Structure 1
């Protein structure tokens, strides 16, 4: 079977082992774009995506809040369309994030 060829991102890190700190980091523009794209993701998407992982990570009270919203009856909202908007919020930078080498958001 042929191995899948993935995209790579280069990252050079200089670590001060005596102080256990990162002294210097050098990377290409792709890594910086991906890192900054995390800041544009709505928290609802982060919680939803983290729940689908093999080892889900806990994000404080969001672990309880998101399932509660899933079970919430839509009749208590002004419009039926509000619940899907809350569960799957749109990223304001969605068009820019689609151009990145790595797409973690499934929208």
Structure 2
């Protein structure tokens, strides 16, 4: 997916990302990921020290000594999300369950269906700020945000960035470990 990064030239702080609903859906989907699946994607290195140690200890346990079965080991280290929560354009390798009965139990709209497409109601442009606040965007909203942040227009640059799996994992990891500057910490390394 392609986003427009609005960055402060003087210190390279990303102020916000301007994106279509596919990026908003991607960011919203972080809330659906099981923690074990996130740790698997990050190879056990989330920067949340005690959780990383817990994950690694489970991966090192024998399924016949310490855990009841190999299935439990997989459930803990590579859990899945419900099919109803899977995005049509998911760029991260999060596993989805094949348990079709759950669809009958809950009256969810499948985000991948042509009737839905995701969590965001579009077509609409969204602003995702550096601290992961997602709001619908207009030109006035962008200018108002720059004024609130006390950033002069001559200190702003727009950069088009392709978000793939590597960038997506970087955003996910930064969102777990940063209290602010999530986009700055995750995307600046991919901007030339």
RMSD: 3.1
Q: In the alignment, what sits opposite 1:99? A: 88
Normalising by structure 1, we get a TM-score of 0.61
Query: Which 4+ stretches in 1 moved above 3 angstroms?
Result: 18-24, 56-59, 72-77, 79-84
TM-score by length of 2: 0.39
- Could you tell me how far 1:76 is from its partner in structure 2? 6.1
Check the 8 A contact 2:5/2:18 in 1, yes or no: yes
Q: How many Å apart are 1:58 and its aligned residue? A: 4.0
CA distance in 1 between counterparts of 2:9 and 2:85 reads 37
Q: Secondary structure at the match of 1:34?
A: helix
Structure 1 residue runs without a partner (length 5+)? 1-8
1:35 equivalent in alignment to 2:27: yes
Matched, 1:51 2:43: yes
Aligned to 2:74: 84
User: Structure 2 vs 1, CA of residues 48 and 33 (structure 1 numbering), >3 Å: closer, same or farther?
Assistant: same
CA contact (8 A) 1:44 1:88 kept: yes
The answer on whether the counterparts of 1:14 and 1:25 sit within 8 Å (CA) in structure 2 is yes
Report the more deviating stretch, 29-38 or 64-73.
64-73
Where relative contact order (Cα < 8 A, 6+ residues apart) is larger, the structure is 2
Q: Separation in 2 of the partners of 1:65 and 1:84?
A: 14
Which structure 2 segments of 5+ residues have no match? 97-192
